[in-house]
Structure 1
Amino acid sequence: MFKKLFGSILGNNEEENKQQQPQNQHASQHHEDNYDDEYDDDENYENEDDGDAYDPETLHGKHYTIDQFNAEVESRAKAWIAREERDGVKLEQKDIDNIYFNYRREVYTAWNNCSQDQMLRWEMANSMTHMGIATSGFVKEDSSNPFLQPVHGIDLRTYTAMAKKIGSGVDYTLVCKAMNLEPAIWEELNTVWPQRMAEDTSFTVTTLFGQYYGESLDDITQLANIEPEMSDSAKEYLQKMKTDPYFYEELEGARQAAYNYGMDGAQWILDNFGINLAQFQEVAMMYMEDRNKNWNSNEISQRLNHRTEKP
Structure 2
Amino acid sequence: MFKKLFGALEGESRQENQNYEQPQSSNDNYEDDYENENQEVEYDPDTLHGIHYDIEDFDNEVTSRAEAWIQDERSRGEELREKDTQSIYLNYRREVYKEWNNCDSDQMIRFEKANSLKYTGVQTSGFVKVDDDNPFLEPVHGLSLRDYTAMCLKISAGIDYQEVCKAMGIEPIIWEELNTIWPQRMGEDTSFTVTTLFGQYYAESVTIPQLENLKTEISEEGLANLERIKTDRYFYEELAGARQAAYEYGIDGAQWILDTFGINLADFQSVAMQWMTEQNQNWNAEDVTAFSNHQQEKQKEYAAKFAAEQGGNIADDVSF
Give the TM-score category using the shorter length: 0.7 to 0.9
CA distance in 2, matches of 1:284, 1:45: 37
Stretch deviating more after TM superposition (76-85 or 301-310): 301-310
Cα shift at 1:71: 0.7
In the alignment, which residue of structure 1 is the partner of 2:240?
Answer: 252
Q: Provide the TM-score with structure 1 as the length reference.
A: 0.86
CA positional deviation for 1:45: 6.5
1:1-311 aligned within 5 A: 1-11=1-11, 28-29=16-17, 31-32=19-20, 34-37=22-25, 38-39=27-28, 40=31, 43=35, 46=38, 53-218=42-207, 220-310=208-298
Supply the distance in 2 between the matched residues of 1:57 and 1:182 (Cα, whole angstroms): 42
C-alpha displacement at 1:44, in angstroms? Answer: 6.0
C-alpha separation between the residues in 2 aligned to 1:140 and 1:161?
Answer: 20
Q: Do the aligned residues in 2 keep the contact of 1:45 with 1:115 (CA within 8 Å)?
A: no
The structure-2 alpha-carbon separation of the partners of 1:188 and 1:44, relative to structure 1 and needing over 3 Å to count, comes to farther
CA distances 1:80-137 after superposition (whole Å, capped 9, x unpaired):
1121122221212211111111101110111011111110011011111111111111
Is 1:139–1:208's contact at 8 Å kept on the other side of the alignment?
yes
Whether the 8 Å contact between 1:139 and 1:207 is mirrored in structure 2 is yes
Distance 2:221 2:13 in 1: 36
- Distance across 2 between alignment mates of 1:125 and 1:80: 26
Residue 4 of structure 1 deviates from its aligned partner by: 1.3
Q: Give structure 2 stretches of 5+ with no counterpart.
A: 302-320
Shifted more, 286-295 versus 184-193: the winner is: 184-193
Contact (CA 8 Å) 1:137, 1:211: kept in 2 or not? yes
The answer to whether the Cα contact below 8 Å between 2:21 and 2:285 also exists between their aligned partners in 1 is: no
Q: Which amino acid aligns with 1:242?
A: K
Alpha-carbon offset, residue 305 of structure 1: 3.2
CA contact (8 A) 2:123 2:129 kept: no
Identity of aligned residues (%): 59
Name the structure with the higher helix share.
Answer: 2
Cα distance in 2 for partners of 1:275, 1:44 equals: 47
Q: In the alignment, is the contact (CA less than 8 A) between 1:147 and 1:205 conserved in 2?
A: yes
How has the CA–CA distance of structure 1 residues 77 and 30 changed in structure 2, closer, same or farther, with 3 Å as cutoff? farther
Shift of 1:141: 3.2
Structure 1 or 2, whichever has the larger Rg, is 2
Which deviates further from its counterpart, 30-39 or 285-294?
30-39
**Partners of 2:37 and 2:148 in 1: how far apart?**
43
Q: Give distance in 2, aligned partners of 1:104 and 1:85.
A: 20
- In structure 1, give the amino acid aligned to 2:271: V
Bigger drift between 220-229 and 155-164 goes to 220-229
| Preserved CA contact (<8 Å) 2:21 2:289 | no
SS at match of 1:106: helix
3-state DSSP of counterpart to 1:237: helix
Q: State the distance in 1 between where 2:55 and 2:44 align.
A: 11
CA–CA distance in structure 1, aligned partners of residues 259 and 275 of structure 2? 23
Partner Cα distance (2:118, 2:138) in 1 = 21
